[in-house]
């Protein structure tokens, strides 16, 4: 695999639908480009509701090879992480829990892939690269809502707790991620 370039986008609609859907496969309609872009287009995903779409794409020679539906969250509404007690504990200690980075299907507990890597021989490597890019410093906390992907990721040299929430400690704004290792 040649050098990867990681790009955070302003929404799923900024990513080619055919390339996204090829990675997502056809078995999970809730990670389909049309569904996620529709949530954005119809105002379900907006900062005023605590959702800022910032999907991640990994590109190799300009071709999308992996993607993840990421959202910068300003609250815990509309997700199935149930982290209100964590947010409360942060607040009691004078810390900001929000914004947090969430990799999920908004407003839904449906199962299915969240780290979209397709069915290629490089899927394991692409999954590891996605996780590494998601762990870039940028926000306070994050969650990957898909336990089977956490278990699969453990074999890729990534350390996650085997729970629904993997806390990510991030320290720089998402708008300007440091992606030197991918360029």
Q: So where are the chain's domains?
A: 4-177
Give the architecture-level CATH label for domain 4-177: 3-Layer(aba) Sandwich (3.40)
Distance CA 40, CA 52 (A): 9
- The pLDDT tens digits of the residues spanning 143-159 come to 444 334 433 433 332 32
Q: What is the pTM of this model?
A: 0.74
- The pLDDT tens digits of the residues spanning 169-179 come to 332 233 333 44
* Bond preceding residue 99 cis, omega within 30 of 0: yes
Helix segments in 42-163, DSSP class H: 84-92, 123-134, 147-154
Q: Quote the tokens at residue 47.
A: 């900062």
> Which range has the worst mean pLDDT, 15-29, 54-68, 90-104?
90-104
Distance CA 128, CA 103 (A): 15
Q: Give the pLDDT band of residue 115 (cuts 50, 70, 90).
A: very high
Distance CA 58, CA 168 (A): 19
């Amino acid at each position: 695999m040649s050098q990867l370039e990681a790009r955070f986008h302003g929404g799923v609609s900024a990513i080619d639908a055919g390339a996204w859907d090829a990675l997502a496969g056809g078995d999970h309609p809730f990670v389909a480009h049309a569904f996620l872009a529709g949530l954005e287009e119809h105002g379900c995903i907006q900062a005023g509701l605590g959702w800022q779409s910032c999907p991640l794409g990994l590109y190799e020679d300009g071709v999308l090879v992996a993607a993840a539906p990421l959202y910068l969250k300003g609250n815990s509404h509309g997700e199935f992480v149930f982290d209100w007690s964590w947010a409360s504990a942060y607040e009691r200690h004078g810390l900001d829990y929000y914004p947090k980075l969430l990799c999920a299907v908004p407003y839904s507990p449906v199962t299915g892939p969240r780290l979209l890597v397709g069915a290629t021989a490089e899927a394991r490597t692409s999954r590891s690269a996605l996780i590494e890019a998601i762990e870039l410093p940028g926000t306070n906390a994050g969650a990957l809502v898909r336990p089977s992907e956490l278990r699969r990721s453990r074999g890729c040299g990534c350390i996650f707790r085997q729970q629904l929430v993997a806390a990510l400690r991030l320290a720089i704004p998402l708008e300007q991620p440091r992606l030197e290792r991918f360029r």
